[in-house]
Amino acid sequence: MPVLVGSVVEGVVTGITNFGAFIQLPEGKTGLVHISEISHDYVSKVSDYLKKDQKVKVKVISINDEGKVSLSIRQAEPKKSTVKKPAEIDWTKTDDKVKGLSFEDKLNKFLKDSGEKQDQLKRKDSRKGLSQKSRKA
């Protein structure tokens, strides 16, 4: 299989430097994975991520006129999502305190709880304002 730009191939790490790693590709070609292309995370030491003779999948980023091959490990596999899903809520479950209340009673309880929370936030904000004013003085 010829090495083409955009293709993902398997190679073997043949050398590690401060700025990246050299990878032996199929057909005897060698390419370089720059330190910035090793992982989606910050890489300070290449040897923390790669070892000599390790097999890795790489994506061919470019091949220049002199035949130098630029490679990427991080582009060869998709970035893992760090987005967390929201917690599941069981809407059928009811609080024992409000179970036997009428709609109006539930609404009044909600308004009371909401008002108390608003008052707490206002007090907290006013305390912050006082401490900031005392710093300026």
Q: What is the CATH number of the domain that holds 45?
A: 2.40.50.140
d(CA 76, CA 37): 10
| Same domain assignment for residues 12 and 64 | yes
Spatial neighbors of 98 by CB under 8 A, at least 6 apart, are: 105, 106, 109
Give 10-residue mean pLDDT values along the chain (137 residues).
Answer: 85 95 91 93 92 94 91 85 71 67 87 92 78 54
d(CA 60, CA 62): 6
- Whether 126 and 118 have beta carbons less than 8 Å apart is answered as no
33 three-state secondary structure: strand
Which residue range is the domain that position 118 belongs to? Answer: 94-137
| Same domain assignment for residues 53 and 108 | no
Query: Does 80 fall in a domain?
Result: no
- What the block records as the tokens of 85 is 């899903």
| Same domain assignment for residues 67 and 121 | no
Query: Does 130 fall in a domain?
Result: yes
Tell me the pairing of strands 30-34 and 55-63. Answer: unpaired
d(CA 2, CA 26): 8
Quote the pLDDT of residue 46: 94
Query: Does 99 fall in a domain?
Result: yes
Query: Does 52 fall in a domain?
Result: yes
Number of domains in the chain: 2
